[in-house]
């Protein structure tokens, strides 16, 4: 009997041992490194197949997050530098059990915590990493991985050498507020199989605030320095181009009927006394310098009045843009001969009397008289330059513009005064001057539409979409072509019995331009005009989009670079759209969430409806096959319009940290984000981010039409992201 009992007991022990196996699916590795007053703790876990550990970043109400808890005995001897960092990118899914998105790691995960040492004495840092493991069938109780680290105290600071400033005290208090808040709670955690598991009292890290006190790394500082230098180079290049355009505008103004006849009149004024050529040339020099000075002063006053802070309102609000459009329209009608714009006679007469006094003062007032008398012809050109420059965020642009215009305007007067024999070779005044004036009227009318288009895009009126805008330009330039052929006549024109070679060439160029624009009505990108036309997404009949959609519907391959997926319907997607069929977002938080879910870097595009350079980048750089392929397949894109006037719900209003004002529109919110985060307020501005840390992967870029550089910009970010988050 005893043998039977012993045998049964032995069998029970063996069976019990077989069914009571203790599960240990994880293996931890711990490392630490102290460098001066900073300590880095590194926890690496390897998991058995089928098991996973939860991320630190789990919202309340979900499974137990992985959290670092430091023993109370160490209080006052350390400070946490930022939150617990983890790698690689976690998997994120919607868990029906918890009714929320949860993040977890499979196979392997690493958790790092930076700690600042404040104690001057050596001590032992004790604590544990709390975590929870689950598989598809059950969850294990929350477990603790204990650690102890010998810490060397920092060198004490002599009292007489340095006192802690109020600023440093404030920082210390803020850091303490950011430290992990712990709470003891009893939780019932639902397992994937539907059962419940009662946990013991645990300390759960509930701190979700972003650490604003992280010390900026040397890499980030270098990125900002490079970005600043890059933007300065681009600004210099942009100002140089604007100077050249303004200079050409000054030359064009010379060929108007208000200015051209004044060249010989003005020169004869200086050269009436042939016995004193030296004095006459000195007066002519003062005269030329005075012209430059007067116009440059106008540019400076414009820069002061319309500074960078006012520029955003000036360039995007409907009121100034409608006024600019009407101004161009009025000037165009004036050039067509409908009426003449003149300044008050008393002003001209008063300056003319001052000019009669002679001498250097007389030369200055002679220049001032020229500016006033020629206003009816130069006013529209000067106005166009000032409007274009004032709507820019650059303080120097109006000054540079007026300097370029006045330089071209003053040089001929000064040179003819020095070399009066050149006057004999000048063409005589005649009907050709009026032809120049009328031609400028057509150009004023065409370019004035740009300002109406900006207001239309910013407020989503859809009055002047791409096909309407192109239709107007096609008609305007067609009429200009017929004018060059002599088929249209305006007030002041002389009869044209036959056209010369010059008119014929101008007509050919104009009609060629019209032919170039016609395909744009059906979806051609028209890259040369990309900065001046409404975006292609506003085109109602885009044959490329129709063909692409039909290929997809009827089983064709369509575009091989078609975007694979986005996570959810984008906010503001009912009135905002990305170019080239790209799919993405217009809300930063939504884009960050999707980038994490898809494990892709984030492409942030700071743009604007009225941004000429943005449209040029999209038409000339984004359209490149390599660039487009990367944007469609390797990034989550978010376009942040800084000038959109869409009103935000009251709960989404923000108070700016740089000017203290409440931002109530989508555009102002995005502009504030760009300024506060990157200290840049110009567009376009492209930032490539790691969505998990929101750190830049590569130095941001501004306007640059070099396609190879942009491809390298994207590929470098992709490579760094993959290296950083490789499994």
Assess if residue 419 is contained within a domain: yes
Spatial strand order of the sheet with 143-151 comes to 67-70, 123-131, 143-151
pLDDT digits over 77-109, tens only? 888 888 888 988 888 887 755 667 888 888 899
- Spell out the alpha helix ranges (H) of 356-396: 359-373, 375-390
- Spell out the alpha helix ranges (H) of 569-706: 588-598, 612-617, 625-633, 666-678
Given this model, what pLDDT does residue 185 score? 35
Which residue, of 461, 476, 507, is where some domain finishes?
461
DSSP string, 392-435: SS-SSHHHHHHHHHHHHHHHHHHHHHH-GGGGGGSPPPSHHHHH
Strand-pair category, 602-607 with 636-641? parallel
Which residue, of 556, 590, 607, is where some domain finishes?
556
Q: Are residues 417 and 506 in the same domain?
A: no
Which tokens is 616 given?
């040029």
Assess if residue 288 is contained within a domain: yes
Q: Are residues 304 and 339 in the same domain?
A: yes
Assess if residue 496 is contained within a domain: yes
Residue 716's closest CA among 637, 634, 640? 634
Q: Are residues 610 and 477 in the same domain?
A: no
Given this model, what pLDDT does residue 605 score? 95
Q: Are residues 446 and 489 in the same domain?
A: no
Given this model, what pLDDT does residue 384 score? 66
CATH number at residue 684: 3.40.30.10
Lowest mean pLDDT segment, chosen from 474-478, 496-500, 579-583, 627-631: 496-500
Q: Identify the top-confidence range among 212-226, 518-532, 563-577, 581-595.
A: 581-595
Task: Give percent above pLDDT 70 in the chain.
Answer: 65
Residue 131's closest CA among 26, 217, 233, 257? 26
pLDDT digits over 670-706, tens only? 988 988 888 877 788 999 999 999 999 999 998 888 8
Q: In DSSP terms, which residues pair with 78 in a beta bridge?
A: 117
- Quote the number of domains for the chain: 4
- What is the span of the domain harbouring residue 134? 20-157+171-182+196-203
Which residues, in sequence order, are CB contacts of 1 under 8 Å at separation 6+? none
- Spell out the alpha helix ranges (H) of 538-638: 543-553, 588-598, 612-617, 625-633
Assess if residue 2 is contained within a domain: no
Query: Is residue 340 a contact partner of residue 376, using CB atoms and an 8 Å limit?
Result: yes
Q: Are residues 384 and 481 in the same domain?
A: no
Q: Are residues 591 and 548 in the same domain?
A: no
Given this model, what pLDDT does residue 216 score? 39
Assess if residue 583 is contained within a domain: yes
Given this model, what pLDDT does residue 510 score? 95
CATH number at residue 109: 2.60.40.1250
Q: Are residues 541 and 475 in the same domain?
A: yes
Q: Are residues 664 and 629 in the same domain?
A: yes
pLDDT digits over 8-65, tens only? 343 433 333 333 345 678 899 999 988 888 899 999 999 888 888 989 888 776 778 8
Q: In DSSP terms, which residues pair with 69 in a beta bridge?
A: 128
Q: Are residues 333 and 239 in the same domain?
A: yes
Assess if residue 472 is contained within a domain: yes
Query: Is residue 549 a contact partner of residue 475, using CB atoms and an 8 Å limit?
Result: no
CA dist 64 → 19, 45, 109, 190, 583 (Å): 27, 16, 16, 11, 35
> At CB < 8 A and 24+ separation, what contacts does 143-146 make?
145/28, 145/30, 145/43
What is the SS3 assignment for 260? coil
* Position with higher pLDDT, 245 vs 518: 518
pLDDT at residue 113 is higher than 80: yes
Residue 637 parent element (H or E): strand 636-641
**Can you give the pTM of this predicted structure?**
0.45
% helix / strand / coil in the chain, to the nearest 5? Answer: 50, 15, 35
Q: Are residues 502 and 546 in the same domain?
A: yes
Our measurement of the distance from residue 151's CA atom to the centroid of its chain's CA atoms, rounded to an integer in Å, reads 45
Please report where in the chains the tokens 């397992």 appear, as a residue: 191
Q: Are residues 418 and 470 in the same domain?
A: no
pLDDT digits over 507-561, tens only? 999 999 999 999 988 888 887 776 678 877 777 776 766 665 555 544 444 444 4
Residue 210 pLDDT level (bands cut at 50, 70, 90): very low
Burial 223-250 (b: 16+ CB within 10 A, else e): bbeebeebbeebbeebbeebbeebbebb
pLDDT digits over 326-382, tens only? 877 887 887 788 877 665 565 556 555 555 555 566 667 767 777 766 665 676 677
Given this model, what pLDDT does residue 219 score? 42
Q: Are residues 302 and 374 in the same domain?
A: yes
pLDDT at residue 173 is higher than 60: no
């Amino acid at each position: 009997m005893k043998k039977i009992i012993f045998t049964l007991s032995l069998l029970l022990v063996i069976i019990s041992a077989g069914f009571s196996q203790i599960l240990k699916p994880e293996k931890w590795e711990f490392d630490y490194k102290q460098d001066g007053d900073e300590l880095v703790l590194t926890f690496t876990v390897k998991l058995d197949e089928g098991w996973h550990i939860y991320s630190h970043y789990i919202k309340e109400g979900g499974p137990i997050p992985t959290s670092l808890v430091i023993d109370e005995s160490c209080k006052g001897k350390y400070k946490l530098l930022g939150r617990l960092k983890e790698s690689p990118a976690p998997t994120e899914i919607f868990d029906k059990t918890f009714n929320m998105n949860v993040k977890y790691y499979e196979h392997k995960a690493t958790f790092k915590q930076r700690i600042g040492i404040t104690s001057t004495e050596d001590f032992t840092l004790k604590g544990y990493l709390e975590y929870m493991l689950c598989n598809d069938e059950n969850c294990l109780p929350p477990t603790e991985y204990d650690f102890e680290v010998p810490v060397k105290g920092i060198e004490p600071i002599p009292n007489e050498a340095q006192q802690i400033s109020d600023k440093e005290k404030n920082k210390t208090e803020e850091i303490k507020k950011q430290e992990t808040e712990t709470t003891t709670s009893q939780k019932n955690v639902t397992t994937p199989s539907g059962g419940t598991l009662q946990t013991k009292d645990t300390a759960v890290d509930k701190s979700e605030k972003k650490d604003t006190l992280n010390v900026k790394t040397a890499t980030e500082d270098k990125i900002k320095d490079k970005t600043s230098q890059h933007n300065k180079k681009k600004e210099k290049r942009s100002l140089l181009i604007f100077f050249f355009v303004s200079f050409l505008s000054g030359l064009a103004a010379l060929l108007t009927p208000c200015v051209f006849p004044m060249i010989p009149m003005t020169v004869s004024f200086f050269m009436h006394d042939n016995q004193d050529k030296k004095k006459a040339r000195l007066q002519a020099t003062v005269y030329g310098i005075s012209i430059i000075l007067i116009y440059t002063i106008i540019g400076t006053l414009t820069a002061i009045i319309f500074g960078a802070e006012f520029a955003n309102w000036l360039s995007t609000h409907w009121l100034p843009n409608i006024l600019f459009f009407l101004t161009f329209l009025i000037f165009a009608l004036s050039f067509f001969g409908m009426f003449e714009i003149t300044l008050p006679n008393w002003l001209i007469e008063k300056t003319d009397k001052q000019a009669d006094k002679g001498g250097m003062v007389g030369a200055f007032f002679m220049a001032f008289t020229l500016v006033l008398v020629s206003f009816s012809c130069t006013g529209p050109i000067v106005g166009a330059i000032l409007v274009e420059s004032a709507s820019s965020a650059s303080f120097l642009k109006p000054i540079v513009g007026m300097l370029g215009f006045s330089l071209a305007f003053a040089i001929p007067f000064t040179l003819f005064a020095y070399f009066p024999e050149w006057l004999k070779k000048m063409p005589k005044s005649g009907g050709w001057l009026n032809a120049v004036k009328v031609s400028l009227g057509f150009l004023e009318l065409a370019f004035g539409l740009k300002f109406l288009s900006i207001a239309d895009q910013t407020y989503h009126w859809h009055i002047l979409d791409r096909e309407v805008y192109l239709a107007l330009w096609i008609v305007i330039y067609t009429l200009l072509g017929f004018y060059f052929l002599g088929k249209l006549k305006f007030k002041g024109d002389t009869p044209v019995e036959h056209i010369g070679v010059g008119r014929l060439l101008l007509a050919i160029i104009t009609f060629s331009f019209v032919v170039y624009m016609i395909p744009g009505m059906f979806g051609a990108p028209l890259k040369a005009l990309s900065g001046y036309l409404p975006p292609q997404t506003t085109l109602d009949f885009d044959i490329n989009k129709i063909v692409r959609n039909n290929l997809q519907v009827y089983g064709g391959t369509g575009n091989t670079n078609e975007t694979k997926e986005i996570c959810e319907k984008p906010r503001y997607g009912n009135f905002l759209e990305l170019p080239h069929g790209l799919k993405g977002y217009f809300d930063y938080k939504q884009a960050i969430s999707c980038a994490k879910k898809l494990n892709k870097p984030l492409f942030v595009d700071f743009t604007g409806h009225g941004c000429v350079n943005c449209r040029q980048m999209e038409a000339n750089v984004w359209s490149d096959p390599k660039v487009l392929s990367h944007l469609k397949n390797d990034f989550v894109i978010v376009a942040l319009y800084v000038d959109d006037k869409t009103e935000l719900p009251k709960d989404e209003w923000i108070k700016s940290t740089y000017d203290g004002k409440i931002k109530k529109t989508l555009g102002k919110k995005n502009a504030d984000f760009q300024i506060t985060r990157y200290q840049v307020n110009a567009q376009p501005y492209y930032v490539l981010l790691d969505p998990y840390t929101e750190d830049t992967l590569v130095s941001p870029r501004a306007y640059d039409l070099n396609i190879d550089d942009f491809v390298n910009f994207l590929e470098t970010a992709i490579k760094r992201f993959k290296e950083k988050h490789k499994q």
